[in-house]
Structure 1
């Protein structure tokens, strides 16, 4: 069993998702991360990640993972269409 805490695992997974989408076109990366989180993370995972963002417990998130999570939180189920800014 891994010695990582659940919070560390969430940050790790979000960062892995962001790493995957770094190969996408600039300006769409964060939206892709947000869409992936929305599509595949269950509500408990989402809620904990948002709580970690609010309490600065997610300091190890990459900037892309953080931005994707912020987009997801801001727009909820309706992640915006891809734009030119990140």
Structure 2
């Protein structure tokens, strides 16, 4: 999947939840949305991009991924070590 497309979608999610008055809750909502609606491959690619510096991610998205990585990170697949 094109990382620019993933960044655009992730940033749209971040923009939506950034309006919430409670920052901690907004960060959790971003992470929960990604977990619920993004397939594992998409989440893995987004996290890999974050680990490579996260260029293009809105601060709220990067912060949500860092704060709630365990929630967003897909479980290890069988055969991956």
Name the TM-score class by shorter chain. 0.7 to 0.9
Could you state the TM-score of these two structures normalised by the residue count of structure 1?
A: 0.73
Q: Distance in 1 between matches of 2:27 and 2:72?
A: 14
Could you state the TM-score of these two structures normalised by the residue count of structure 2?
A: 0.77
Q: Distance in 2 between matches of 1:72 and 1:16?
A: 18
Q: Distance in 2 between matches of 1:52 and 1:22?
A: 21
| Residues 33-58 of structure 1, C-alpha deviations (whole Å, 9 max, x = no match) | 011001100000001011111112x3
Which consecutive aligned stretches of 4+ in structure 1 deviate over 6 angstroms post-superposition? none
**Structure 1 unaligned runs (5+)?**
78-86
Give the length in aligned residue pairs. 72
From the two aligned structures, give the one with the greater helix fraction.
2
User: Cα distance 1:34–1:50, how it changes in 2: closer, same or farther (>3 A)?
Assistant: same
Q: Distance in 1 between matches of 2:19 and 2:48?
A: 28
Q: Distance in 1 between matches of 2:52 and 2:19?
A: 30
Q: Distance in 2 between matches of 1:33 and 1:44?
A: 17
Alignment RMSD: 1.8
Contact 1:22 1:29 in 2 (8 A): yes
SS at match of 2:9: helix
Q: Which residue is equivalent to 1:81?
A: none
